[in-house]
A and B are shown apart, each in its own frame.
Chain A
Amino acid sequence: MSTAVVDYTREEPVVAGRPTASEIDAVVSAPLDRPPARTWWIAFGITSTMLGIGVVCVAVTLWLGLGVWGVNQPVSWGFDIVNFVFWVGIGHAGTLISAILFLLRQRWRNGIARFAEAMTIFAVMCAGIFPLLHTGRPWLSLYLTPYPNQHALWVNFTSPLLWDVFAVSTYFTVSAVFWYLGLVPDFATLRDRTTHPVKKLVYSIFSLGWRHSSRHWTHFERAYLILAGFATPLVLSVHTIVSFDFAVSVIPGWHTTIFPPYFVAGAVFSGFAMVQNSLIVVRQVFRLKHLITLSTLEKMNKVMIVTGSMVGYAYAMEFFVAWYSGSQFETFVFVNRALGPYAWAYWTMVTCNVVFPQLFWFKKVRTSIPMMFVIAIFVNVGMWFERFVIVVTSLSRDFLPSSWGHYMPSIYDVGIFVGSLGLFFTLILLFVRVLPVISLAEIKAVIPGAQPERHRPH
């Protein structure tokens, strides 16, 4: 096959109504042209305040040391790693939607791909903060990269943390490139729309002199296809490697082979939930209901049932494996999760991740905006707690009862998490102001009648 956007006209239209290309341009780029509304300013105020809180907490942490956090012996990973995994997980929806669904010829992705990719990038940025901060001496973080140095010392290639460094940075770079590539034609369109000289200059620079030439389109599509092809295993590998952070260790409750698929499923699960939440708001605010249709959202809900059930299966399986292993350490860890001091966290996780998503079996729920919004929020909460349960319960009670401990976050832990949320939503708010939230070229390509009817085979 030689072209990426194939003929889907047999299916129900992705775009509701029959908007013309110029109408799409108008509605999508509207937010870029008119000054932000009051609601936007309020939202921006809130998120940037959260961001500010985070910045303060980070500053205190850097000045005094990790002691201001709740971490201790034996639980020396707490909110930091929980949040890291949480954000990386969220970052998975974007590439999944834009790459995997692209390869699977899911046209409905075109409406949401751009936004999801943006979220990916922002989420990975949020995630990136934590591994950096959680080190006792962040000013030495260059040691994590293999560069020739006067110690003649390299890095440890057997350490999952090092794999993380490579995986996450690669994932970030590739996602960013993928995103930018998709943006190039839109930049050109914007360039040709705008009258503002500065905007024009900026758009021209980023559009790389694009002129919608079919000779370019062929290369463009090939490149896009290749990227999608690479991004697909990449997105799977990233959370697999994140799961190695735990699976490679000897700690009961971490040391298990089920983690990679379990983590990937969870990542997609939480990612879709987050996309869901944000999209519902965006399409409401920017009147994009006909471009991001209800059926699109419903399809996402279906994905959530699937992944949510996978996660639920994993929870059950963990218990079975623990019991079947015959290792008393393993068995205890899981009994302890369900009955021990952190049972509250465990059961929150189960209800949010396994019970609520099951409601999506009902078409009514699946297609009701408020319902799906609430459930998606629950899923986000639940997935955060999943990471909390995995990290904290396993560490707090491992092999030697003498060195069991208890973990309680400090206000700085919470503050930094709030800050990361702030960063994420601030970036989203900025994004919807300066870039088209929907890929113009892609969406135009799927409006009815966008493709030539006649094919001339040679």
Chain B
Amino acid sequence: MNERNQWRSLHEEQDAGTTPEMKSQEFMDGVTDAFDPETLSPLSRKQFLALMAASAAFAATGCTNYRDKGEIVPYNKKPEEVTPGKANLYASTCTACPQACGILVKTREGRPVKLDGNPDHPVNRGRSCATGQAAILNLYDPARLRAPHTGAAASGTGEVSWDRIDSEAARQLAACIRDGKQIVLMTAPVTSPTAQKLILEFRAAFPGTKVIVYDRFHQETRRSAWELCYGSAALRPVAWEKARLIVALEADILGNEGFTVEQTRAVAGARDIMVSDTFVRLYSVEGTMSLTGTNADYRCRLHPEAQLEFVLALTRAVAAKLKLAAASLPAGPDLAAIAHRRGLPLKTLEHLVDDLVTLRGKGIVYAGSALNTDVHVAVNYLNELLGNTALYGPAEPATAVTVTPPADVASTIADMKAGKVGFVAHLDVNPVYHLPKVLGYAEALKSVRFSVAMTDVENETAQLCTYMLPVHTMLESWGDHTVRTGVISLQQPVIAPLYATRQQEAILLRWMSASTPFSELLYQEYLKRHWESAVFPSLGRLTDFLTFWQMALHDGVVTTPVSAQAPLQFRKDALASLRLQEHPDRYAVVLLASPYLGDGRWANNGWLQELPHPISKVVWDNYAAISPAAARALGVESNDLIEVSTESGKVTLPVFVQPGTAEQLIAVSLGYGRWNAGPVGSNVGVDVTPLLPAGCLTGPRVVRAMSVSKSEGSYALASTQEHHALDDTFVKDFHLKRHIIREGILEEYRKDPHSLGIERKEHESISPRVEFVGVKWAMAIDLNKCTGCNACVAGCNVENNLPVIGKEQVAKGREMQWIRIDRYYSGTPEEPLASHQPMLCQHCDNAPCENVCPVVATNHSPDGLNQMIYNRCVGTKYCSNNCPYKVRRFNFFNFRDHLADGYYQQEPVSLMHNPEVTVRSRGVMEKCTFCVQRIMEARQHATEAGVTFDGKQVETACQQACPAQAIVFGNMHDPGADISRYREHPAGYDVLGELNVKPNVTYLARLRNIHSEKRA
């Protein structure tokens, strides 16, 4: 071989021996064999074609009965990042509430289908809440405005073009400048620096622009107290992780007060018995039964108006114990007197004082934003006294757009009435519904020449404006948000605008520079410019801006250096202003944020309407929660009606007798009773804004009632759980007697982990048990961490395409949620102890449901799942009857079709549904699947990568959503996995284990961190 030796492939190169002949003959060995005529099929080409034709004909005729499965429409030009059938993740920011959590949005083929927390975000660290989970439904809400539309104040009716809007707005603005009329921007607090800048620029561009900022659930009392005490309005958020003792005063830190996701994560994280040393002690002193109260180790029932005297008494007691000279505090009753008068257990108060003292510097006393400034001042002083200020973090970022004082709001409204205002723009706010009715905003708006409402769905305000301008939902918007110093969270759209909507900032920009035509990029460019000029230089990064920007979008969050904090100087003179007013023997009304509807913004979100109230389990309604004693006094029961009146106005409310409510107190949620919220949300519950005084714009949300009286008629509240448990002695404490809930005392558990009396014994069985090999799934739920916040429920709803069924169906007892939070009471109706327990399919090894299904529609998978085959299900419902946990759910109707004339069957809801999960029809049984679609996806990845599937990195939707990280899921055959540790844990127990169904969900008994002599 004298020619140059060449080789074609590595193989060839490696065994050079075979190379020559391989090259010498054209075909490799074996290739030609096929051409041996002997071995060829006798079938001639003609015959073959004939056969093909025949079979084709048969196929064609034989398959005529097959039903049309729809056409296949591929991408014309496939984007690099999208692969059909594979999900993408986008980092963004959730603007569902002022917490502005970082989120990861899961998109399928460019459509968002799920959102969860962004693990890289330092505040919420990958956690999320129920409202955030369900917020995706608002993107696909059929009621969304699809183009600009005239309102009541407009001349014509119907849709209008954006051009006309722009031109008319420009004209009106010019006119206002010309004839010196005011321009008003109504907005909620703005968390976006760029948007703040924009608003300032707008004000500059149009002199005489007033910006009215209001927030129904403001922190103004806390802020003003802070200003009094420390001379600066910038609050210092609490570093909850560090707290060993938390005393919440009418502050539902685990419910809806402040940064609930962060707080829940922190508190739950500090109640982890897997990590033995940490266990925060939680006191809750509250008048309303709140999540914080139910999760507290000690709960004291105290009327919110008595909080000040309580704090003062506490301060004195602490000072006395510390032998400190307490500053001159207004005289008041001491703890013993309060305990006597208010019926508080004195022992508990003594414990409280001891704990405050022993854990000083490691504890925090935290007052709720519903309380007045005085209480906050007193609390600040108490924390000062105890040195708890060590737990304060850096000051919150300064904002240019602060909440407007009631006086200014009133004057502006007066100006509007007087016709001095020519232009009002509502930036995604709904003041007609929100503002206290006494201010008469609705009337005022009527006498404004030109008004627009920027909103995604028509609402009470938009209805009265000249035009309603459809704006992007949060998943279509650009933005940046900062709620914590040093943390900027970026918001990028995850789907192109579904309709002819615009981002509200872009609308303002367009009006500011009438010359520039509108483009989708308008605000995006503005945002980038702002970052390039303002943020980027300060960071001193090495990369160029574009790269930095892209990486920032990729991560979703940018952390900036935090300057050193000035030490806090407490001003004792603040205490001088404290006044203990004597309150007459009258009812007070405490106005709470609705657990999931916020200020009513989410009223048209069926999923959120149907999330049971965490305590009362009532859905689709708000109600007046009163104590059993109060109910007796008023001569009412649950579902009766009472009329409540304050000096501002009166409303008629259904009563719900809520154990644990303070006497003389009525707790009621705002955010209900909207009259123009869309097909789902309109006229749900009662609007209690008439009760609000103007002062509540910055003042406390506890209002003195003029009169409370029983009124005629009754109103049926629907709840997902019978609430007889306490009134009916016949069935009292069953959850403890039946070992459904197991509870213990931390100290005793520490002494002897087996003191809980949990024994795991293998039950006899007539048949040999089935052996599972390889991956086998199991779940564990830590009842110490679970706060009962329902985030898991919402997450499950979205992941698994659960329908909304409506109030009357829930009343019939047909709720569909796959996972529910059971709430049990023990103790007395006045001082109940509540326990929360997430209940879902236990995927029993010996599942009773499987035996009885005649068509094997439910059976067991090799990896230990109790699986449900929807297509096979005939719907005998026997499985549901035979389920001891009653976790199976049945489609009694095609609920999507049944609710509000098929509201959730209209487009674009289909885009939201998880393509990996069947959308069940009527007559089909369903239940928790342990998110089998996620399991299968993980399995598929393992197979693609050619590695054996070990079951790691599978996260169920509920687990991912849980802000408390109370849910653990994994392969129980993997000794390294968390789940195995939980299953072996001495506090771990099975619910109804004695039935020998072998459930695969392990619960960790709840330990109350109380002083053990409490027992005696």
Q: Find out whether A and B make contact in their complex, taking CB atoms under 8 A apart as touching.
A: yes
Among B814, B875, B925, residue most surrounded by chain A Cβ atoms (within 10 Å): B875
User: Is B763 located at the chain interface by the 8 A CB criterion?
Assistant: no
Interface pair A137/B856, CB less than 8 Å apart: no
Report whether B925 and A161 are in contact in the complex, using a CB–CB cutoff of 8 Å.
Answer: no
Interface centre among A67, A74, A75, A158 (most CB of B within 10 A): A67
Q: Contacting chain A: which of B30-38, B687-695, B845-853?
A: B845-853
B886–A74 touching, CB < 8 Å? yes
Interface centre among A74, A340, A403, A405 (most CB of B within 10 A): A403
Which of B128-136, B734-742, B968-976 contacts the other chain? Answer: B734-742
**B822 is an interface residue with CB less than 8 A from chain A:** yes
Choose the segment among B322-330, B664-672, B891-899 that binds chain A (4+ C-beta atoms closer than 8 Å): B891-899
- Majority secondary structure of chain B interface residues (helix, strand, loop or mixed): loop
Contact A136 B922 (CB under 8 A): yes
Chain A contacts of B894 at CB under 8 A? 65
Let me know if B815 is at the binding interface, CB within 8 A.
yes
* Segment of A18-26, A183-191, A393-401 engaged in the interface with chain B: A393-401
Complex contact B874–A64 (CB within 8 A): no
With contact pairs A137-B875, A143-B874 given, residues A72 and B812 touching in the complex (Cβ less than 8 Å): yes
Which of A74, A155, A156, A401 has the largest count of B CB atoms less than 10 A from its CB? A401
Pair B852/A64 contact, Cβ less than 8 Å: no
Our pick among A134, A156, A160, A400 for the contact of B740 (Cβ within 8 Å) is A400
Check if A328 sits within 8 Å of B738, measured CB to CB: yes
Residue of A nearest to B925 (CB): A136
Contacting residue for B898 out of A67, A155, A156, A402, CB 8 A? A67
Q: Which of these, A141, A250, A402, contacts B995 with CB under 8 Å?
A: A250
- Tell me if A165 counts as interface (CB < 8 A to partner B): yes
Question: Scoring B residues 852 to 890 as 1 if CB is less than 8 Å from chain A, else 0, what string do you get?
Answer: 111110010000000000001111111011101110111
Select the residue from A71, A155, A156, A165 with max chain B CB neighbours within 10 A: A156
> How many angstroms between the C-alpha atoms of A399 and B991 in the bound complex?
10
Interface string of B81-101 (1 = CB under 8 A from A): 000000000000000000000
Q: Is B997 an interface residue (CB 8 A)?
A: yes
| Assembly CA distance A134 to B923 (angstroms) | 10
The residue that A136 contacts in the complex, of B813, B852, B853, B890, with Cβ under 8 A, is B890
Out of A76, A141, A161, A404, which one reaches B880, CB within 8 Å? A76
- Most A CB contacts (10 A, CB to CB) among B855, B889, B891, B894 go to B855
Interchain CA distance A160-B878 in the complex, whole Å = 10
- For B598-619 the 0/1 string (1 means CB < 8 A from A) is 0000000000000000000000
Indicate if the CB atoms of B731 and A398 lie closer than 8 Å.
no
Quick one: CB contact mask for A397-439 with B, threshold 8 Å, 1 for yes? 1111111111000000000000000000000000000000000
Contacts of B812 in A (CB 8 A): 70, 72
Q: With a CB–CB cut-off of 8 A, which chain A residues contact B27?
A: none
**Does B824 count as interface, using CB distance less than 8 angstroms?**
yes
B68 located at the interface, meaning its Cβ lies under 8 Å from any Cβ of chain A in the complex: no
Range of interface residues on chain B?
Answer: 35 or more
Q: How many residues of A contact B (CB 8 A)?
A: 53
Counting CB contacts under 8 A, is A329 at the interface? yes
Cα–Cα distance between A251 and B877 once the two chains are bound (Å):
14
A71 near B877 with CB under 8 A, answer yes
- How distant is the Cα of A140 from the Cα of B820 in the complex, in angstroms? 30
The answer to whether A151 and B854 touch across the interface, beta carbons within 8 angstroms, is no
Looking at the assembled complex, report how far the CB atom of A192 sits from the nearest CB atom of chain B, in whole angstroms. 48
A134-B876 CB under 8 A given contacts A65-B893, A67-B809, A143-B855: yes
Within B756-810, which residues are at the interface with A (CB < 8 Å)? 809
CB distance A76 to B890 under 8 Å?
yes
Contact of B75 with A by CB under 8 A = no
B911-959 residues with Cβ-Cβ distance < 8 A to A are: 921-925
Partner among B856, B884, B893 whose Cβ is within 8 Å of the Cβ of A250: B884
Convert A159-193 into 0s and 1s, putting 1 for each residue whose CB lies closer than 8 angstroms to a CB of B. Answer: 11110010000000000000000000000000000
- Decide if B852 touches A159 in the complex (CB within 8 Å): yes
Is B238 on the interface with A (CB-CB < 8 A)? Answer: no
**What is the bound-complex CA distance between A103 and B823, given in angstroms?**
60
| Bound Cα distance from A162 to B923, whole angstroms | 19
Known: A73-B886, A136-B873, A250-B997. A67 touches B856 (CB 8 A): no
CA of A403 to CA of B725, assembled, Å = 11
Judge if B58 is at the interface, Cβ distance under 8 Å.
no
A155: which B residues are within 8 A, CB to CB?
854-856
Nearest chain A CB to B413 CB, angstrom units: 48
A65 and B922 contact, CB distance less than 8 A: yes
Known contacts A76-B880, A400-B740; is-contact A140 B874 (Cβ 8 Å): yes
* Bound-state Cα–Cα, A162 to B853, Å: 8
B882 x A400 contact (CB < 8 A): no
**B893 CB to closest chain A CB, in angstroms?**
4
Q: In this assembly, does A77 line the interface, its C-beta being within 8 Å of a C-beta of chain B?
A: yes
Bound CA–CA A401/B725 (angstroms):
8
Fill in one digit per residue for B710-754: 1 if any A CB lies within 8 Å of its CB, else 0: 000000000001100100001100110110100000000000000
A67 CB contact (under 8 Å) in B738, B814, B859, B877: B814
Please name the residue on chain B nearest to A249 by beta carbon: B882
Nearest CB of A to B898, in Å: 7
**Chain B, 280-302, contact with A by CB distance < 8 Å: what is the 0/1 string?**
00000000000000000000000
A399 to B884, Cβ gap below 8 A? yes
B898 contacts A250, CB within 8 Å?
no
Binary B-proximity of A307-335 (CB < 8 A = 1, otherwise 0): 00000000000000000000011001000
Least CB distance from A125 to B in Å reads: 20
Chain A hits for B722, CB < 8 A = 401, 404-406
Contact A399:B885 (CB < 8 A) given known A76-B890, A136-B877, A339-B730? yes
Q: Given A72-B812, A161-B876, A405-B813, A67 and B892 touching (CB < 8 A)?
A: yes
Top 3 closest pairs, chain A to chain B, by CB: A136-B875, A136-B923, A402-B822
Seen from chain A, the residues whose Cβ lies within 8 Å of a Cβ on chain B are: 64-67, 69-77, 134-137, 140-141, 143-144, 151, 153-156, 158-162, 165, 245, 248-251, 328-329, 332, 339-340, 395, 397-406
Name B residues whose Cβ lies closer than 8 Å to a Cβ of A: 721-722, 725, 730-731, 734-735, 737-738, 740, 809, 812-815, 820, 822-824, 837, 839, 848, 850-856, 859, 872-878, 880-882, 884-886, 888-894, 898, 921-925, 991-992, 995, 997
Provide 27 A-B residue pairs closer than 8 Å at the C-beta atoms, listed in order of the A residue.
A65-B891, A65-B893, A66-B922, A67-B814, A72-B812, A73-B888, A73-B890, A74-B813, A136-B874, A136-B925, A137-B922, A153-B856, A159-B851, A159-B854, A245-B878, A249-B881, A250-B848, A329-B738, A395-B881, A397-B731, A399-B738, A399-B884, A400-B839, A400-B992, A401-B722, A402-B837, A403-B721
